[in-house]
A and B are shown apart, each in its own frame.
Chain A
Amino acid sequence: MEKSLNWREYLITRLIRISGYSAIVFVAAIFFFILKEGLPALTEVKLSDLFAVRWYPIEDYFGLLPLVTGSLIITVGAMLIAFPFGIATAVFIAEIAPRWVREILKPLVELLAGLPSVVLGFLGILVLAPNLRRLLDLPTGLTALAGSILLGGIAVPTIVSIAEDALDAVPRSYREGAWALGATRWQTIWRVTLPAARSGVITAVMLGIGRAIGETMTVMMVTGNAPVLAVKLGSILSPVRTMTATIAAEMGEVASGSVHYHVLFFIGIVLFLISLVVNVAASSVVFRARKRAERILS
Chain B
Amino acid sequence: MNPPRPLSLIFHLSSFFFLLFILTSCTSSSQASSNSPALYIENKGSDTIVNLALAWAERYQAEHPDVRISVTGGGSGTGLASLINGSADIANASRKIKPEEAAEAQKNGIQPVEHVIARDAIAVIVNPENPVGELTLQQVSDIYSGKINNWQELGGEDRPIVRLSRETNSGTHIYFLETVLRLGEKDNQTLFSMDTLLLPSSEGIVAEVRDNPNAIGYDGLGYVPKDLKVIAIARAADGPYVLPSAATVNDKTYPIARDLYMYTAGEPTGVLAAYLDWIFSPEAQEIVLQLGFVPIK
Interface residues of A (CB under 8 A from B): 1, 54, 56-59, 66, 125-126, 129-130, 133, 139-142, 220-221, 224-228, 238-239, 241, 249-250, 252-254
Q: Is the CB of A252 within 8 A of B169?
A: yes
11 more CB-based (< 8 A) A-B contacts, given A129-B211, A139-B162, A253-B47: A58-B168, A125-B208, A129-B208, A130-B211, A133-B211, A140-B214, A227-B194, A239-B195, A249-B200, A252-B169, A253-B169
Residues of A within 8 A of B192 (CB): 56
A1 to B1, CA, bound (A): 9
A11 to B74, CA, bound (A): 50
Tally chain B residues at the interface, Cβ within 8 Å.
26
Interface string of B195-215 (1 = CB under 8 A from A): 111111000100110011011
A250: nearest residue on chain B (CB-CB)? Answer: B169
Residues of A within 8 A of B195 (CB): 226, 228, 238-239
Q: Is the CB of A225 within 8 A of B200?
A: yes
Q: Is the CB of A250 within 8 A of B194?
A: no
A139 to B161, CA, bound (A): 7
A130 to B162, CA, bound (A): 14
Residues of B within 8 A of A253 (CB): 47, 169
Q: Is the CB of B167 within 8 A of A226?
A: no
Q: Is the CB of B215 within 8 A of A250?
A: no
Interface string of B148-184 (1 = CB under 8 A from A): 0000000000011110000111000010000000000
Interface residues of B (CB under 8 A from A): 1, 47, 159-162, 167-169, 174, 191-192, 194-200, 204, 207-208, 211-212, 214-215
List 5 tightest A-B contacts by C-beta distance, closest first: A253-B169, A224-B197, A139-B160, A225-B198, A140-B162
Q: Is the CB of A226 within 8 A of B212?
A: no
Given A126-B207, A133-B212, A58 contacting B174 (CB threshold 8 A): yes
Q: How far is the CB of A221 from chain B (nearest CB, A)?
A: 7
Residues of A within 8 A of B160 (CB): 139
Given A56-B191, A140-B212, A140-B215, A220 contacting B200 (CB threshold 8 A): yes
A294 to B173, CA, bound (A): 61
Given A56-B192, A126-B207, A130-B211, A140 contacting B197 (CB threshold 8 A): yes
Q: How far is the CB of B213 from chain A (nearest CB, A)?
A: 10
- What are 20 sample pairs from A and B whose C-beta atoms fall under 8 A apart? A54-B194, A56-B192, A57-B168, A58-B168, A125-B204, A139-B159, A140-B162, A140-B197, A140-B208, A142-B208, A225-B197, A225-B198, A225-B199, A226-B194, A226-B198, A249-B167, A249-B169, A249-B200, A250-B167, A253-B169
Q: Is the CB of B212 within 8 A of A130?
A: yes
Residues of B within 8 A of A130 (CB): 211-212
Residues of A within 8 A of B191 (CB): 56, 59
The one of A1, A66, A139, A254 in contact with B214, judged by C-beta atoms closer than 8 angstroms, is A139
A226 to B215, CA, bound (A): 14
Q: How far is the CB of B37 from chain A (nearest CB, A)?
A: 30
Q: Is the CB of B207 within 8 A of A125?
A: yes
Q: How far is the CB of A237 from chain B (nearest CB, A)?
A: 12
B168: nearest residue on chain A (CB-CB)? Answer: A58
A164 to B200, CA, bound (A): 37
A191 to B35, CA, bound (A): 78
A58 to B181, CA, bound (A): 15
Given A56-B168, A221-B204, A142 contacting B197 (CB threshold 8 A): yes
Residues of A within 8 A of B159 (CB): 139
Residues of A within 8 A of B204 (CB): 125, 221
A83 to B11, CA, bound (A): 50
Residues of A within 8 A of B194 (CB): 54, 66, 226-228
Among B1, B174, B211, find the residue whose CB has the most chain A CB atoms closer than 10 A.
B211
